[in-house]
Structure 1
Amino acid sequence: MALPARKQVQYWSIATVVFAVVLWALGNVLLPFVLGAGIAYLIDPLADRLERWGLSRPQATASITVAAALLFLVMLLIIVPTLIYQLSDLITVLPEAIGNARSYAQTNFPAIFDDQSRIHQTLSALGETLQTKAAVILETALGSAASILNLVVLVVIVPVVSVYLLLDWDRMIARVDMLLPRDHAPILRQLAKEIDAVLASFVRGMGTVCLILGSYYAVALMLVGLNFGLAVGFVAGMVTFIPYLGSLIGGALAIGLALFQFWGAVEIATGDTVTYATDWLRIGIVVVIFVLGQIVEGNYLTPKLVGNSVGLHPVWLLLALSVFGALFGFVGMLVAVPVAAALGVIARFFTSQYMESRLYQGQTHKDAE
C-alpha cells in the first residue's frame, strides 16, 4: 500500500532540508569529493566509449588515469610555470596600468574627477562596491581552498576520488536506480535523463568551449606580442563558463593591456629627433582577435557543442551562482550549475503537470470538451 501523497511530500521535504543542512555544515570538507565526482561525471562517457571498443571498465579507467597523469605532468613542466609567472607579473603591472589610465583620464576628461559631478560620484560608488565584493570573494577563497593543507588535500584526494568513482560509476547509478521508490521510478528516471542531458550539453559542452577559446586567445595574443597573452587567455577561457561575462572581462583585460603596452611604443627617428607613436595596428589586432573569438563562439562553438535546448538562461545561471555561493561558499558555486539545471528540469516538469491539471484548465475547458 502506497503512502498518501501528503506523507510523501513531508518525507521528501524533510530529506531535502537535511541534505541542504548537511551541505551547509560540511561545506569545504566536501570540496574534494564534489570535485572528484564532477571529474568522474565528465570523463564517464569516454570510459563508456573505451568499453565499447573492447576494454573492460578497469582497463578503461587505467588508460584514462595514465593519459591524465601524463597530460598533467606536461602541463606542470611546461605550461603552469609560465602561467604562474605571467599571472604574478600581471598582478604587479595592473596598478601601474590603472594609474596611467587615471592620469590620461585626468588630462583629457577632468570632469570625471570633479567631486561634485555625477559621473565621479557614480564611479566612486561603483569602485567601492567592486572593492567590497572583491575582498569578500578573496576572503572566501583564501578561507576555503587556498591554504597549503587544503591544497595538498585537493591535489591528493581529488584524483583518488575521481578514479574510484569512475571505476564504479555504472554500478553506483544502477544501485541508485534500484533504491528509487517503485511508484515514482519511471518519472524519476525520466527527470534524471533530462537532467543528465542538460548537464551533458552545458557542463561538458561549455567546458570544451572554454578550453578551445582559452587556447585560441592565449596563442593568438602571444603571437601578437602581448606580454601576458597566456595569462589573459587563461582568464578569458575560465570565465567564458559564465555567459557574456567571459568576453567582457577577457576583452577588457586584453585591450587594456594592449593600450598599456603599445601606447607610444613605436619609435620614429627623423634626423636627430626621435618621437614615439602608438602602435594602433597591434591594438587593432587584439580587438579583432576577441571579436573573431566571440563570432566563432556565438555562431559555431556554443550551438554545436552546447546546443540550443539547454534551458539555462544566463540570468538564471548568475542567480544560482550568487545564491549558492553566498549560502555554501566555494562548494556552493561548484554545485550551482548542476543544481540550477536540475531545478530547471523539475520546474518545467511541474509546469507541464500544472497546465494539464484542473487547476489550470478549469471547469470551462472541461465543459468545452
Structure 2
Amino acid sequence: MSDSQRWFFLIFTLIVGFLLYLLQPILSPFLIAALLAYLTDPLADRLEARGLSRTLSVVVVFLVMTTVLLLLVILLIPKLGHQVQVMVKMVPQVFSMIQTVWIPWLEEHTGLSFAEFDLQNLQALMSGHWQQTGSLVKGVFSSVSQSGLALAAWVANLALIPVVMFYLLRDWDVMMDKIGVLLPRNVERKVTLWAQECDEVLGAFIKGQLLVMLALGVIYSLGLWAVGLDLALLVGMLAGLASIVPYMGFIIGIVVAGVAAMLQFNDITMLGWVGAVFAVGQALEGMVLTPLLVGDRIGLHPVAVIFAIMAGGQLFGFVGILIALPVAAVIMVLLRHLHQGYKSSKLYDC
C-alpha cells in the first residue's frame, strides 16, 4: 500500500467516524436494519440457491421474521410483563431476607459489623426504581402521547427499520460486490481476506452467540418452569441474554433464581434444583451448543466484549452499542495482522 493510499484510508476512516458522531440521533433504525440484514443474509442466500429469486427469498425471510415476532408478542410479552410485576412485589421480601438472615449470618461468620449499613434507604431507592421499571411501558406511551411530533418520530423510526432492512437485504450481495470493485487493485485481495476474517469473528459472536443465548434462555426457562419457579421465563431470558459474556449468564441466573426460589418456597433444597438446572445448561452450552452453533471460529475475548460495549455506549450512546462488536471485530483482525507484520519486521528481529 502506497503512502497516498494509507493517508486516504486514514482520512476516510476519520470522516466516517465524525459523521457517525454527528448523525447518531438518526442512525439507530438504519444500524438496526443493517444488523438484521447481515444476520438474515445467509438464509436469503440459501433460499436463492434453491431456485427462488432474490426478492422472493427476502419476502420469505420477512414472513418468517414477522411470524416469530407476532408469536413473541402474543405469547411471551404478556407473561414477561406479569413476571416483572411479581418481581417488583418481591423486592421488599429480598431486603427483609438480607436484614434478617444474610446479615446476621455474615456477622456471625466474618466478625464484621453491618450495623451502620443503611438498608432502609437502599430498599426505598431500589423499590422506587423497580416501580419505575414495572411501569416503564406505560410511562413511555404516556410521555410520547403528550407530543404528537414525538409520537410521529417514534412511529416513523419503528416503521423505517423493516423498510430499510428489506432494501439492504435485497441488495446486500450487490453492495458487497460494488464495494469490492471500488477497492484499489493492489490491496483488494488483502482487504477481502481481512473482511472474511471479520465476518468469521462476527459470525461467532453475533450469529452463533445469539443462537446460543436464545437456546440457553429457552433451556433455563423450561428448567426453572419444571422446578416450579414463578419467575422462570423472566430469569431464564435474563440469564440467556447475559450469556453473551461466558459464565456471566450462569452467575446472574443462578443468583437471581436462587433468591427467587428461597422467597417462593422457603426451602433450601430448592437451591439444589436451581443449581441442577444451570449446571445442565452450562454442560449443554459447553458440549453441544457452542461447538454446534459457534464451532471453532475465532471469537472476541469476554473482556473485549465488555469493554467494546461500554466504550461504544460512552462515545456514541445507543448507536455506539450497536456498532461496538463489529468495530471490535475489525480492530481485532487488524491488530492480529499488525502483530504478524511486527513479528516479521526489522523492528522485532534486528
Scaled to the shorter chain, the TM-score interval is: 0.7 to 0.9
Instruction: Report whether the alignment pairs 1:255 with 2:253.
Output: no
Against the structure 1 CA distance between its residues 349 and 258, is the aligned structure 2 distance closer, same or farther, given a 3 Å change threshold?
Answer: same
- Tell whether the 8 Å contact from 2:221 to 2:235 is kept in structure 1 after alignment: yes
Structure 1 residue runs of 4+, over 6 Å off? none
Instruction: Report whether the alignment pairs 1:211 with 2:214.
Output: yes
Q: State the distance in 2 between where 1:241 and 1:25 align.
A: 29
Q: State the distance in 2 between where 1:151 and 1:237 align.
A: 28
Report the alpha carbon displacement of residue 96 of structure 1 after superposing the two structures with TM: 2.8
Q: Secondary structure at the match of 1:109?
A: helix
Instruction: Report whether the alignment pairs 1:305 with 2:302.
Output: no
Name the structure 2 match of 1:172: 175
Q: Secondary structure at the match of 2:184?
A: coil
Q: State the distance in 1 between where 2:204 and 2:48 align.
A: 22
TM-score (norm 2): 0.85
Against the structure 1 CA distance between its residues 182 and 95, is the aligned structure 2 distance closer, same or farther, given a 3 Å change threshold?
Answer: farther
Q: State the distance in 1 between where 2:229 and 2:257 align.
A: 8
Instruction: Report whether the alignment pairs 1:21 with 2:18.
Output: yes
- Tell whether the 8 Å contact from 1:28 to 1:330 is kept in structure 2 after alignment: no
- Tell whether the 8 Å contact from 1:311 to 1:344 is kept in structure 2 after alignment: no
Q: State the distance in 2 between where 1:152 and 1:95 align.
A: 37
Consecutive unaligned residues of structure 1, counting only runs of 5 or more, are 264-277, 363-369
Report the alpha carbon displacement of residue 17 of structure 1 after superposing the two structures with TM: 1.7
Greater shift, 331-340 or 204-213, is seen at 331-340
Report the alpha carbon displacement of residue 151 of structure 1 after superposing the two structures with TM: 5.1
Name the structure 1 match of 2:114: 113
Q: State the distance in 1 between where 2:336 and 2:101 align.
A: 52
Matches within 5 A, 1:1-369: 4-5=2-3, 7-110=4-107, 111-115=112-116, 148=144, 149=151, 152-263=155-266, 278=267, 280-362=268-350
Against the structure 1 CA distance between its residues 68 and 311, is the aligned structure 2 distance closer, same or farther, given a 3 Å change threshold?
Answer: closer
Q: Secondary structure at the match of 1:184?
A: helix
Consecutive unaligned residues of structure 2, counting only runs of 5 or more, are 145-150
Q: State the distance in 2 between where 1:109 and 1:352 align.
A: 52
Greater shift, 217-226 or 9-18, is seen at 9-18
Report the alpha carbon displacement of residue 154 of structure 1 after superposing the two structures with TM: 4.6
Q: State the distance in 2 between where 1:108 and 1:198 align.
A: 46
- Tell whether the 8 Å contact from 2:93 to 2:263 is kept in structure 1 after alignment: no
Identity of aligned residues (%): 36
Q: State the distance in 2 between where 1:96 and 1:12 align.
A: 58
Q: Secondary structure at the match of 2:185?
A: coil
Q: Secondary structure at the match of 1:322?
A: helix
TM-score (norm 1): 0.81
